[in-house]
Chains A and B, each alone.
Chain A
Amino acid sequence: MAGRTGRRKGFAVSDQHHSNELPFWRQYIFSQDHKVIGMQYAVTGLLFLLFGFCLMMLMRWQLAYPGKPLPFLGNFLAESPVMPGGIMLPEFYNQLGAMHGTIMVFMGVVPLAVGGFGNFVLPLQIGAPDMAFPKLNMMSYWFYFIGGVIMIASFFIPGGAAQSGWTSYPPLSNIAPLGQTFWLIGMAFLINSSLLGSINFIVTTVQLRAEGLSFFRLPFFVWSQFVTSFLLLLAFPPLMAAAVLQLMDRLAGSSFFMPSGLVVNGATTPWAGGGSPILWQHLFWFLAHPEVYVLILPAMGIVAEVMSCNTRKPLYGYKALVYSVIFLGFLSFIVWAHHMFLTSMGTQMNSFFQITTMIISIPSVVILTTLILSLWGGSIRFTVPMLFALAFLPMFGIGGLTGLPLGLAASDIHLHDTYYVIGHFHYVVAPGTIFALFAGVYHWFPKVTGRKMSDILGKIHFWFSFVFINGVFMPMFIMGLAGVSRRLYDPVQYAHAQSVQPLNVFISICAWCLGLAQIPFIINFFSSIFFGKKVDDNPWEATTLEWTVPSPPPHGNFAKPPVVYRGPYEYSVPGCAKDFLPQNLPAGQAGAAEVK
């Protein structure tokens, strides 16, 4: 279809009546339309986010009231082997922990941010009829789906799901039960899904931009997805290699990650030895650090879109943002070993990674500063998406700042693998990225459905989420400073952890309240699909191309190929009657029709 015959030819061959003739399963299930795939990704991603969060809410009971039977829900699980009498077993706790991380990162945030928003919005924003490779796009979603099914299925196999943390460090992961094999195979599907997606995004962005849409006229969201795709493309293959090596270690008896002379439970192991467990960490973090930026860059893109539209003015320093994002993407490949300061790297290596880590903070500071300065001189509408986008800024700020003591190796000695780390990266990803994703959901919902989500429910959702999410993650910094290790099934075994146990109770209560605060969102989301207020094609009065097509956009998106005449954020241009000029508005028309 589109793109196969070269740039811009897609329109010539796309037959719009064709979509109506497709049977249901081709139109809505095995669809090749980027919008349907985007919705599939978004809904699946949201469901996984909810599921991953439920796992954590379950763990929070054990952390707040260790060894006490879980009330109510525990009665249903009392017969299960993982929670006899409603009391969680340590192996189940470790499964929940490992799967919470895996689900949130690989099956929740990335599919929603890249697969969901990227798929739906990017082709529309660049004026393309579809993605460059619609079949790869469909394959990408179904790989993701299969990966997800394998991950969920692993809870029900003997020994349960993976339980060696989302980082799966060997030798622990190599000697772990069957669930780890499922995890590796599931990851292989998720990795391939992301690879297919990333190639598609890169080609689409390069090849299918509308006439006149030069790179520096691209909305910042497209830039963020473009850079993200390069990160996915270049960072995931090493993890794929690592996953295959670990699979070989587990199934074929190789010893890539197994050193000589291991004695587990008083018995020697079947592995010949000679491998290195640190090799896994290098391969894993070579992916997983860029992965952090895969999580945060699309979020920044969404925030930039929402902010520019709701301040009614152009972004401040658009080019600085673009260059910073490119620089950030590049640097994200050379900071990985700051996750490994305590693995006895030499001082020189250590210093190298500290220096790159400090350097990477500079483009992050530039982006944050630029986004805040974008508010200056605006006329700020406090719509629901804008509230989430605004909250992203200080939350991401806290997440970034608390990275400093972890990025400096000396202070990391005390804080490494404590709750401080958990607080730090959750501030980046949860009230940071996930808030930005909520902003995106509220912002583009009218484009997807033709209806708006309720403002009142949206504001309830925002304010309660904002309060409780800080209640969850802020106390973790105190626990971290007190030296409490992460991943403890029973938090009161250690004397130094007992003193901060009241904080654990507080965090758990906040986490459950945060769970309740998502109910308005769920109600709002589903009821608005059917009963939401009907709105026109451009309810936010935005400038980018996706708002020039009908809501929901038809198959093939644009009736005729759009032509772009101006930059992405021409809001409040002096001398015009309207305060926004869509990108496809010819220069002459703006002058003749609108100058007073």
Chain B
Amino acid sequence: MNPKYYGWGFPIDISKHGWQIDQLITILHVFMAVLFIGWFAFFIYTIIRFRQRPGHKAEFHIKHFKTPTYLEAGVALTEFVLLFAFSIPLWHFFRNEMPPKDKSLQVRVVAEQFAWNIHYPGKDGAFGKTDPKLISATNPLGLDPNDPEGKDDIITLNQLHIPVDMPVIVDLSSKDVIHSFTLPVMRVKQDAIPGQMIPVWFEAKSTGNFEIACAQLCGLGHYRMRGFFIVESKADFGKWLDGQAAEKVSQ
């Protein structure tokens, strides 16, 4: 992988909307730095000024300070601005405002120890039925062979290809334990929980080869549960999908 994507800060951001998260984190850190530096300076000044030394006496009666009350109110106010103006709307945007299905690519991602199964609906745009009872070495998702909608479905292991400039909806689930589907370059992270199908969406703004990471401890191989996340032009993505379909027919 290309090291220029990653450094000692945020990973490269290739998503259309991830900058909003980066922005919130940056604002928060500026806020934290201002608070900490101001407060630490006061702390250092105080312990130097009021150090024990000959002729210096502690005061029993200290007048009530008003400034800290205002500062505390200011801190609380800032927190609530960050909460209501940034965090809650952003969360709503990322989790509730799903892009229209007909204009986006739908993919299912099924996590297992220690890999990501990627399930594309194929040409008909519909996913075939799956049943955990049918899962076998050759049928990792338990796709029902009698379901016509499943005939053209494409299943890959650890290869998530998506087209650039098109919203992608990932329906996330897990076969065994809890995993966490992470695309660091997309600012996407969502737990994959067995028994649930959780939608998460994103949209890439540039192409490249990146990775899928697992963020939730899922067993011995948690550290190597690495998938490939490839953002391509629409044409390249179409070609890749056709190639996968052809490969499936030839089998």
Contact = CB atoms under 8 A, between A and B. Distances in A.
B165 interface: no
A515 B184 CA distance: 33
B113 A418 contact: no
Contacts of B31: 404
Nearest to A92: B220
Interface stretch (A32-40, A125-133, A393-401): A393-401
A206 interface: no
Contact of B24 (A411, A482, A489, A495): A411
A278 B193 contact: yes
A593 interface: no
B224 A416 contact: no
B237 to A, nearest CB: 22
Contact of A344 (B51, B196, B220): B196
B3 A410 contact: no
A540 B71 CA distance: 34
Contact of B195 (A94, A277, A373, A408): A277
Interface residues of A, number: 96
A216 interface: no
B72 A342 contact: no
A570 B219 CA distance: 56
Given A362-B72, A493-B226, A572-B57, A266 B137 contact: yes
A475 B7 CA distance: 13
A405 B21 CA distance: 10
Interface stretch (A52-60, A137-145, A254-262): A254-262
Nearest to B218: A172
Given A342-B191, A410-B21, A498-B3, A381 B94 contact: no
Interface stretch (A13-21, A190-198, A225-233, A353-361): A353-361
Interface in A382-413: 382, 390, 393-394, 397-398, 401-402, 404-405, 408-411, 413
Nearest to A401: B32
A401 B8 contact: no
B8 A494 contact: no
A263 B194 CA distance: 10
Interface string B84-101: 001110111011100000
A499 interface: yes
B123 interface: no
A408 B87 contact: yes
A379 interface: yes
Interface stretch (A108-116, A147-155, A307-315, A443-451): A307-315
B247 to A, nearest CB: 23
Given A378-B50, A410-B86, A417 B194 contact: no
A434 interface: no
Interface stretch (B34-42, B144-152, B238-246): B34-42
B142 to A, nearest CB: 8
Contacts of A503: 8
A572 B62 CA distance: 12
How many chain B residues sit at the interface, stated as a range, is 35 or more
B60 A314 contact: yes
B209 to A, nearest CB: 9
Nearest to B86: A410
A487 B184 contact: no
B215 interface: yes
Contacts of B39: 372, 397
A6 to B, nearest CB: 38
B62 A266 contact: no
A413 B28 contact: no
Interface in B1-36: 1-3, 5-11, 20-22, 24-25, 28-29, 31-32, 35-36
B58 A311 contact: yes
A169 interface: yes
Given A358-B80, A490-B223, A277 B91 contact: no
A589 interface: no
A170 B210 CA distance: 30
Contacts of A478: 8-9
Contacts of B2: 495
A496 B94 contact: no
Contacts of B226: 493-494
A166 to B, nearest CB: 10
A51 to B, nearest CB: 22
A380 interface: yes
Contact of A262 (B62, B88, B132): B132
A411 B176 contact: no
Interface string B120-143: 000000000000110111000010
A375 interface: yes
B43 A372 contact: yes
Contacts of B10: 414, 481-483
Chain B CB within 10 Å, residue with most, of A172, A316, A416: A172
Nearest to B221: A90
A579 B133 CA distance: 79
Nearest to B187: A414
Contact of B184 (A411, A488, A496, A574): A496
B62 A485 contact: no
B157 interface: no
Interface of A: 90-91, 94, 97, 164-165, 169, 171-172, 175, 259-266, 268, 273, 276-278, 311-314, 316, 342-344, 347, 350-351, 354-355, 358, 361-362, 365-366, 369, 372-373, 375-382, 390, 393-394, 397-398, 401-402, 404-405, 408-411, 413-418, 478, 481-483, 485-491, 493-496, 498-500, 503, 570-574, 579
Q: Across the A-B interface, give the 10 residue pairs with the lowest CB-CB distance, nearest first.
A: A259-B195, A495-B1, A483-B184, A410-B90, A261-B132, A417-B215, A379-B58, A408-B87, A377-B59, A312-B58
Interface of B: 1-3, 5-11, 20-22, 24-25, 28-29, 31-32, 35-36, 39-40, 42-43, 46-47, 50-52, 56-62, 65, 68, 71-72, 75-76, 79-80, 82-83, 86-88, 90-92, 94-96, 112-113, 132-133, 135-137, 142, 175-178, 180, 182, 184-185, 187-191, 193-196, 198, 211, 213-224, 226
30 contacts: A90-B221, A94-B217, A165-B217, A169-B177, A171-B176, A172-B218, A172-B219, A262-B175, A263-B142, A263-B175, A268-B135, A314-B60, A343-B193, A351-B88, A354-B83, A366-B72, A378-B58, A378-B59, A379-B57, A380-B47, A394-B36, A408-B24, A410-B94, A411-B87, A416-B189, A482-B11, A489-B223, A493-B223, A498-B3, A503-B8
